[in-house]
């Protein structure tokens, strides 16, 4: 579904991703792991075309999208849940979700029923300002907004970071369900090894902007974690 070939990514003159090759298959959950600052978020932003200069190619469903504007990548089916959630201040829960509908190709401006089944709390608080929700509730809202784009691949950047424990489990279950019950391809940046092993089909560990190790979830050994993610 996604192919990165000889991808290099830059912020100004800072070279973050180096000649990266990576394949992500349709229908899988793929987990990106690594220490802070190794290029995980930069790789996601390269896929979305957000504030990153790239060379090499990014292929999505057989088409080279390397030069495609960000809004067109969203319309092709790439949904994004950014680190920090980026809920729009002043907008209600409902209006934050409906923002995602602008990326749909069918013109529908309605909240998918899937959102309500995954996150019933949001349905009961549609009129509240999104920024008045707790961190975990805002994360649910950010995922709901991405689902409103009708994506075929959902990209999540550390979706459980800084979330209260009672909501972490709900978010983890929702991510697994989106893949296994609803067929969404998931790209997940995650620091929680337990969740990575549970949710992912395959993984890649980044180090200094390169793939240092990769494999199936069964290959994610304690030795690999110690070598590439330990302090």
**Mean pLDDT throughout 85-103?**
94
What CATH number corresponds to the domain at position 62?
3.40.50.300
pLDDT at residue 164, rounded to an integer = 87
| Residue range 199-230, pLDDT digits in tens | 999 999 999 999 999 999 999 999 999 998 87
Percent of the chain residues past pLDDT 90, beyond the cut? 89
| Residue range 10-51, pLDDT digits in tens | 999 999 999 999 999 999 999 999 999 999 999 999 999 999
Count of the separate structural domains present in the chain: 1
pLDDT at residue 107, rounded to an integer = 83
pLDDT at residue 231, rounded to an integer = 55
Beta 202-207 vs 210-216: how paired, if at all?
antiparallel
Sign of the four-CA dihedral 26, 176, 51, 133: positive
User: The domain containing residue 140 runs over which residues?
Assistant: 2-229
| Residue range 170-206, pLDDT digits in tens | 999 999 999 999 999 999 999 889 999 999 999 999 9
**Mean pLDDT throughout 84-89?**
91
pLDDT at residue 166, rounded to an integer = 84
Residue reference for tokens 């899937």: 114
Give the whole-angstrom CA distance, residue 17 versus residue 8: 5
For the chain, the three-class secondary structure string (H helix, E strand, C coil) is CEEEEEEEEEECCEEEEEEEEEEECCCCEEEEECCCCCCHHHHHHHHHCCCCEEEEEEEECCEECCCCCHHHHHHHCEEEECCCCCCCCCCEHHHHHHHHHHHCCCCCCCCCHHHHHHCHHHHCCCCCEHHHCCHHHHHHHHHHHHHCCCCCEEEEECCCCCCCHHHHHHHHHHHHHHHHCCCCEEEEECCCHHHHHHHCCEEEEEECCEEEEEEEHHHCCHHHHHHHHCC
pLDDT at residue 162, rounded to an integer = 85
Global pTM value: 0.93
Question: Residue 63: pLDDT band by 50, 70, 90 thresholds?
Answer: very high
């Amino acid at each position: 579904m996604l192919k990165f070939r000889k991808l290099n990514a830059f912020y100004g003159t800072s070279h973050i991703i180096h000649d990266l090759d990576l394949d992500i298959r349709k229908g899988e959950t793929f987990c990106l792991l690594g220490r802070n600052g190794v290029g995980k978020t930069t790789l996601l932003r390269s896929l979305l075309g957000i504030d990153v200069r790239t060379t090499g190619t990014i292929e999505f469903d057989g088409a080279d999208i390397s030069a495609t504007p960000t809004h067109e990548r969203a319309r092709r089916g790439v949904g994004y849940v950014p680190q920090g959630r980026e809920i729009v201040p002043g907008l209600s829960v409902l209006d934050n979700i409906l923002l995602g509908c602008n990326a749909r190709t069918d013109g529908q401006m309605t909240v998918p029923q899937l959102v309500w089944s995954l996150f019933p709390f949001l349905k009961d608080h549609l009129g509240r300002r999104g920024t008045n929700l707790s961190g975990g509730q805002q994360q649910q809202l950010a995922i709901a907004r991405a689902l409103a784009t009708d994506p075929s691949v959902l990209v999540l950047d550390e979706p459980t970071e800084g979330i209260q424990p009672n909501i972490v489990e709900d978010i983890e279950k929702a991510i697994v369900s989106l893949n296994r019950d609803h067929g969404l391809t998931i790209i997940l940046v995650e620091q929680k090894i337990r969740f990575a092993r549970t949710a992912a089909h395959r993984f890649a560990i980044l180090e200094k902007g390169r793939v240092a190790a990769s494999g199936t979830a069964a290959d994610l050994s304690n030795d690999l974690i110690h070598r590439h993610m330990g302090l």
